[in-house]
């Protein structure tokens, strides 16, 4: 049976910038069965769907900037693109959450996107970095507050385990707290010096992360890496081999 796992294409952005389609071909050749987009390389939705089908790749999700999510006309265009390529999640990849006012602003937008995109069969969500693990007066994280203020049916979490651990938050207990609402997981490894490294080379127990996610029905595992010992495509291949072994 084919093992399903994805890569966030930001991981190989240096190669994508030079040869978008050629890099997709190399990713598929490594055994990745799905991708998460961070931009579309100027390709139309129909062109992108054609390449995905040809390469046997599924579109798990996209990282769609807050500026696009918060503009209704641009949001409509994004929804239409997602429908064509078959992506089921439209995720906010970044917002500099610092205050509860920021939380209210982002929650309002995500709830709106969730309502509008939900009618097209697309869920929305939020991908964390480290700053969302700042605590507010009651001891909760800003990320907790964002989840509290958003509709759990339409707004999900994409937990980046690297950034949780980087901020001092143990990723597995945090995943358990949200259960199936943690609908996608970024498998990004961290070493003892808090560097982003290949999956086999860090301190996060990735098999335990996978087991925990599977225990509440999550099966969207997405490799992301930000730094590389040699080359991003070499790391992507190492990570693919690792996931074939543990999934």
Measure the CA–CA gap between 138 and 90, rounded to whole angstroms.
30
Strand segments (E) across the chain: 6-8, 34-37, 58-63, 89-92, 123-127, 155-160, 182-187, 189-190, 196-197, 220-223
Residues 6+ apart with CB under 8 A from 197: 189, 190, 191, 225, 227, 229
Residue 245 exposed, middle or buried by CB count within 10 Å (0-12, 13-18, 19+)? exposed
Give tens-digit pLDDT for 49-89. Answer: 999 999 999 999 999 999 999 999 999 999 999 999 999 99
Cα–Cα distance for residue pair 28/22, rounded to 1 Å: 10
Given a cut of 90, is residue 116 above it in pLDDT?
A: yes
Using alpha carbons only, give the angle 204, 179, 189 rounded to the nearest 5 degrees.
15
Q: Of 199, 202, 182, whose CA–CA distance to 191 is shortest? A: 202
CB of 157 within 8 A of CB of 178? yes
Which pLDDT belongs to residue 35? 98
Q: Is the pLDDT of residue 137 over 90?
A: no
The whole-number pLDDT of residue 71 equals 98
Average pLDDT over residues 166-180: 98
């Amino acid at each position: 049976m084919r093992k399903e796992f994805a890569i966030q294409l930001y991981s190989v952005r240096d190669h994508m910038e030079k040869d978008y389609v050629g890099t997709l071909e190399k990713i598929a050749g490594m055994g990745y069965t799905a991708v998460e987009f961070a931009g579309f390389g100027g390709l139309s939705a129909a062109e992108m769907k054609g390449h995905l089908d040809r390469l046997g790749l599924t579109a798990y999700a996209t990282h769609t900037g807050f500026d696009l999510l918060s503009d209704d006309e641009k949001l409509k265009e994004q929804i239409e693109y997602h429908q064509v390529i078959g992506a089921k999640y439209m995720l906010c990849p970044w917002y500099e959450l610092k205050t509860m006012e920021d939380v209210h602003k982002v929650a309002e937008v995500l709830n709106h996107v969730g309502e509008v995109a939900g009618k097209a069969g697309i869920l929305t969500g939020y991908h964390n970095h480290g700053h969302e693990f700042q605590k507010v007066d009651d001891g909760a994280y800003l990320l907790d507050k964002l989840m509290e203020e958003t509709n759990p049916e339409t707004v999900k979490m994409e937990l980046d385990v690297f950034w949780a651990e980087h901020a001092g938050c143990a990723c597995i207990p945090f995943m358990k707290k949200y259960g199936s609402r943690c609908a996608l997981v970024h498998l990004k490894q961290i070493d003892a010096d808090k560097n982003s490294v290949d999956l086999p080379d860090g301190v996060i127990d990735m098999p335990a992360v996978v087991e925990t996610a599977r225990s509440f029905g999550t099966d969207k595992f997405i490799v992301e890496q930000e730094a590389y010992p040699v080359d991003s495509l070499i790391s992507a291949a190492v990570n693919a081999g690792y996931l074939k072994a543990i999934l």
